[in-house]
Structure 1
């Protein structure tokens, strides 16, 4: 059950005016109804992660699965993805899903620009395309919408502000990203560098470009060992992938090093123990499950010709009052992870 190739978008139409989503309504709560003019079949929505088998995207899978359960009988929702961060493997998975005739794709691109042509191909075939962590694609014909958990510049500035404060406003640090082609990782990193130049000019990176780990734990661990050997007087570390932060923290713990400032993307369950032990001093995140759930809610809304507008509720914390600018949807889902935040180490994800 695909959308019509000549789908007119989510403008204010007679359908949108009478839809459940009018004004600040709720997206994704279908009550068992399907779009006017569709058959009685089930919408098939496939979510394609950057890489399967890592904690971040396992958490995202729970949100995708929950969305499927909450909309049982209306959608079939599942997650798949490559076994590594290779953009070519991700493109091939999308090609296969196009051939299978899915109704919608939710994609978290490893390299937004390289995957853009195949996403456009999907839309040309009548498949709804929603991306996450790819805001630049919102200005293209490759997507129906891009969903962001928050303003990416704000997220990066917070991460680097935490690092600078820990370092006392001076010293050198190393940065590590999942990939130099990861739009959001580089957006956070570049926004953070600009923030430091303006506010903490004596906090400087050791190199012009950050390390990259391909969202791979083994590579991230090798990077950590190399960094600590190459920079014995290092003052701080920034990690924009979960693999970067988790493996750097693990190596710090093994070497009993607690004098290096750390600020990183993580999950409560990953960073929490290190925060409690004093190995890590700052971590932040957004709930991957929420991103998976909310992105699927947007996909279903498009399939059902329902409006997604500023103020719409995507039925998950952090996405209850989204901002919509053209095809860019932004939530307010920044989560700061702090020591003592989860008594008894009862981490939500």
Structure 2
């Protein structure tokens, strides 16, 4: 019998190659692709301010380590309608988790409900939206902690007496309003010789805060203190004191990011900033969002990372708490790069 010819051997080789190729394709077609990473979108109050940029940096760093996708979509103004539009776009995109710092909680309540009805998780961070269907609030510090720290810092400079005014940002911002409420009660109870004469609102506009602070100093010639209640009004009120040449006469404290408030700490127009580690807040927010998306329950005390080994969770209010506020002065301001 004749052996296989060269042609038949070639045909056999080609058929075998095709069989292997088809087998490989069938394995690829039958294989299960890896799951897509959880998509978390952070919607801050407004774009292009250092505070939320730092918070976003913390969230991005956490995302790398947690294996999730973190992006920020920020409104160009503090008009609540701008946040509503962004949230509706994210609902249409079917993202996994929306994290929002509400400018107006009431305005966001319906669209938060829409997101939850579509199966999208919704958290608040930095600012809460109580009474809505948000699932968890990631809180930077307690209202009592911030309100008392701000008041004590100012009273230490004014001798526990005198008239002071508050320049806040959005009039509907739940976090700022809770701090102001504490300041009013705490001042009345602990500093009876001091008086809060007025609270005004500058939006998230530093220049508007400066202008309002100047008007307050004109309206109350015996004013001894100003509080910048948010990270744009804190440098704004200090700038007003500097430009009016009232350093040492009108003292300011505020909730300001370190590098934006640094020049005013150094020249004495701001006495102290009360804040928290903003990048850590972003880190904690990303971690919490992943826990919620994964369906993992939060414990009363949570080991989030080496830097956040014991983060508390309050189940009745569904609130994760970063911790105590930081006191930023001219001596330690350079420890923070944002």
Task: Tell me which interval the TM-score lies in, with the shorter structure as reference length.
Answer: 0.7 to 0.9
Answer whether contact 1:312 1:322 (CA < 8 A) is retained.
yes
Deviations 1:191-223 (A, max 9, x none): 01100111111211223xx11111112321221
Task: State the alpha-carbon separation in 1 of the partners of residues 194 and 293 from structure 2.
Answer: 48
* Corresponding residue of 2:154: 163
Deviation at 1:177, TM superposition (A): 1.1
Answering whether residue 305 of structure 2 is matched by residue 300 of structure 1, we say: no
* Corresponding residue of 2:62: 67
Structure with greater helix share of residues: 2
Matched length: 304
Deviations 1:8-29 (A, max 9, x none): xxxxxxxxxxxxxxxxxxxxxx
Q: Pick from 237, 243, 255: which aligns with 2:226?
A: 237
State the TM-score, normalizing by the size of structure 2.
0.85
State the TM-score, normalizing by the size of structure 1.
0.82
**Relative to 1, partners in 2 of residues 1:149 and 1:273: Cα closer, same or farther, differing over 3 Å?**
same
**Relative to 1, partners in 2 of residues 1:162 and 1:177: Cα closer, same or farther, differing over 3 Å?**
same
**Relative to 1, partners in 2 of residues 1:316 and 1:59: Cα closer, same or farther, differing over 3 Å?**
farther
Structure 2 matches for 1:76-225, cutoff 5 A? 76-135=69-128, 137=130, 140=132, 142-207=133-198, 210-225=199-214
Task: State the alpha-carbon separation in 1 of the partners of residues 306 and 52 from structure 2.
Answer: 17
* Corresponding residue of 2:276: 286
List structure 1 segments (4+ residues) > 6 angstroms apart after TM superposition: none
Deviation at 1:156, TM superposition (A): 0.6
Task: State the alpha-carbon separation in 2 of the partners of residues 271 and 45 from structure 1.
Answer: 30
Q: Pick from 320, 323, 327: which aligns with 2:309?
A: 320
RCO higher in structure (CA 8 A, sep ≥6): 1
Deviation at 1:224, TM superposition (A): 2.3
Deviations 1:133-175 (A, max 9, x none): 34462x65x1121111221122111111211221112211111
Q: Pick from 39, 46, 53: which aligns with 2:41?
A: 46
Unaligned runs of 5+ in 2: 1-32
- Alpha-carbon RMSD: 2.0
Task: State the alpha-carbon separation in 1 of the partners of residues 269 and 189 from structure 2.
Answer: 28
Answer whether contact 1:293 1:316 (CA < 8 A) is retained.
no
Unaligned runs of 5+ in 1: 1-37
**Relative to 1, partners in 2 of residues 1:303 and 1:284: Cα closer, same or farther, differing over 3 Å?**
same
Task: State the alpha-carbon separation in 1 of the partners of residues 155 and 107 from structure 2.
Answer: 34
**What SS does the aligned partner of 1:242 have?**
coil
